[in-house]
Amino acid sequence: MTTTDGRDRPDGHAGEREMLEGWLEFHRATLAAKCEGLDDKRLREASVPPSDLSLLGLVRHLAEVERGWFRRVLADEDVPRIYCTEADPDGDLHPAPDHTWEEAYATWQGEIARARELAAATPSLDTVGAGRHRSGTTHNLRWIYTHMIEEYARHNGHADLIRERIDGATGE
């Protein structure tokens, strides 16, 4: 089923892996749709003071999340954080004035592409990742997919509210 803005929902009769991948793709596309048509200034607008949460911050955050779960936990790649530092552990959510949508979007899409590659190379949803979460725990691909869907769904709720506040746009 396709939404009015062209996002595809997974087939209601899909197998488990196809269903999980489909919902993750749907939520990735939803965040992108919430950001469409806005310039850098509008993408930086905070939701509700005192919160400084913005659409640009959410995209940067999801780039970090994609990298963490797929590259570090699933594949055990030794990659640094993109935006977060010891001085600002939430640096993904705090874009500086010189940080642009173009850069954030390209970074996010690059992390999504790498996540897709790593997941496609993983033979089973039961395969436990070669790396560990910063908490020390390991996770199988099924858990990672489920968590990523939850992560995007939660933040897409934030994105809905932010976008509606910016210009009144709502959607499915």
- What does the pLDDT read at residue 170? 83
- What does the pLDDT read at residue 1? 76
- What does the pLDDT read at residue 36? 95
Q: Are 69 and 141 in contact (CB under 8 A)?
A: no
Q: Is 45 exposed, middle or buried (0-12, 13-18, 19+ CB in 10 A)?
A: middle
Which parts of the chain register pLDDT below 70? 172
- Is the pTM higher than 0.85? The answer reads yes
Query: How is residue 170 written in tokens?
Result: 């709502």
CA 110 to chain centre: 12
- What does the pLDDT read at residue 146? 98
Q: Any bridge partners for residue 128, and if so which?
A: 140
Nearest-10 Cα torsion for 97, 63, 39, 88: -20
Q: Are 108 and 60 in contact (CB under 8 A)?
A: yes
